Amino acid sequence: MNRIALLIIALAFLTFQSAAQDDMMDLLDDAPTTEFASATFKSTHVIVGQSIESPAKGTMLLNIQHHFGPVNSGFYNFFGFDQAVTRLRLSYGITDWLSIGLGRTTQNKTWDGSLKIKLLRQSSGARNMPFTISYYGNIGINTLERTDFSRPDYFSSRLSYVNQLLIARKFSSKLSLQLIPSLIHRNLVETRQDDNDVYSLGAAGRVKLTNRMSFNFEYHYILSKQTASQYYNSLSLGVDIETGGHVFQLFLTNSAGINEQYFIPYTDGSWLKGDIRIGFNIVRTFTIVKPKEFAKY
């Protein structure tokens, strides 16, 4: 009888322990979790300007950017197709929050190095953060051969800098909006009256049309009065088309420049006057370092 009693006690204890473990698992399942927003934009660029998106850790993006000449340049220039500005850019994700980039633009034969840091990420649940905020910094070097011998040609005179905060929110699966306060610094300007520091405030957005297509817009308002009196605000409208490993962006813009150093302070075309340029970006993703969970494959 003693053995039977011991057996009954042991079974009861095991049953109680199993029920307790199930209760603990239920408590863990009920604990709040953090859900992060993803794919706020489909590319590292909304159109011509930066988005809050960065390459994932261990991936490299090749971005080919191309702006034709103004459509109103007429048939002689084949409505802008005879004139073009091109930029090639590589960016690499060191971590999921830090990426670096290197680019070369035909405009002023400019080389540029860049850094993008994701400071905050939109989330809900246990941690509620309404926005994603990224910092973007860029240093550009004008490598044109010297033509003006009336002033010294210092290396520092060829440098320009970009500082931007990218503040975005994904309101739904179909709508994302972004604010872009920017500071452009040029070490050398044409006259003493020109702004070395150009401030601007940009706004951009994405409206999802289908699973693979979206409508995008981007506008940069120049706050610095001297620059604003000489140039126009940059306005771009376009569509994103996602095709697996590629993102193809087709757009219209009044900006010839591709780098922030050029399209924010030097846009000399007006939409109202027909100074509209056709442009496109092609983005290709390459996996350089495989994620650990896929390493065995």
Question: What are 106's two structure tokens?
Answer: 């035909």
> Cα(115)–Cα(55) distance, rounded to whole angstroms?
12
Q: Are residues 19 and 88 in the same domain?
A: no
pLDDT computed for residue 98 by the predictor: 97
**Is residue 256 very low, low, confident or very high in pLDDT (cuts 50, 70, 90)?**
very high
Q: Is the pLDDT of residue 16 over 60?
A: no
Over residues 104-129, the mean pLDDT reads: 94
List pLDDT tens digits, range 142-172. Answer: 999 887 777 788 899 999 999 999 999 999 9
Beta strands 197-210 and 98-105 are: unpaired
Q: Do residues 95 and 167 both lie within one domain?
A: yes
Say whether both 93 and 114 belong to one domain.
yes
> Which residue type does 4 have?
I
State how far the alpha carbon of 229 is from the alpha carbons of 232, 258, 275, in Å. 8, 21, 18
Domain with 135, as residue range(s), is 36-294
Q: Which two tokens stand for residue 43?
A: 């590319």
Number of compact structural domains in the chain: 2
If asked whether residues 255 and 185 sit together in one domain, one would say yes
Residues 5 and 77 in one domain: no
Q: Which of 236, 45, 273, 239 is nearest to 138 (CA)?
A: 45
- Which residues, in sequence order, are bridge partners of residue 217? 205, 237
Checking if the pLDDT of 294 tops 50, the result is: no
Helical ranges in 39-181 per DSSP H: none
Q: How far is CA 143 from CA 47, 104, 191, in A?
A: 26, 10, 20
Give residue 272's pLDDT. 93
Same domain, 18 and 137: no
Q: What is the pTM of this model?
A: 0.85
Instruction: Give pLDDT, residue 13.
Output: 44
Q: Mean pLDDT in the chain? A: 88
| Tens digit of each residue's pLDDT (9 = 90 or more) over 54-80 | 999 999 999 999 999 998 888 888 878
Residues 168 and 207 in one domain: yes
Six-digit token string for 215: 């409508």
Query: Is residue 28's pLDDT more than 60?
Result: no
For 230, the token pair is 């000489």
Query: Are 2 and 68 contained in the same domain?
Result: no
Most confident of 81-85, 234-238, 271-275: 234-238
The answer, yes or no, to whether residue 26 has pLDDT greater than 60, is no
Mean predicted confidence (pLDDT) in 262-275 = 94
Instruction: Say whether pLDDT at 292 is over 90.
Output: no
**Same domain, residue pair 176 and 194:** yes
263 and 155 housed in the same domain: yes
Q: Are residues 6 and 82 in the same domain?
A: no
Which CATH number goes with the domain that contains 167?
2.40.160.40
Q: What is the pLDDT of residue 7?
A: 42
Same domain, 16 and 151: no
- Confirm if 168 and 132 have CB atoms less than 8 A apart: yes
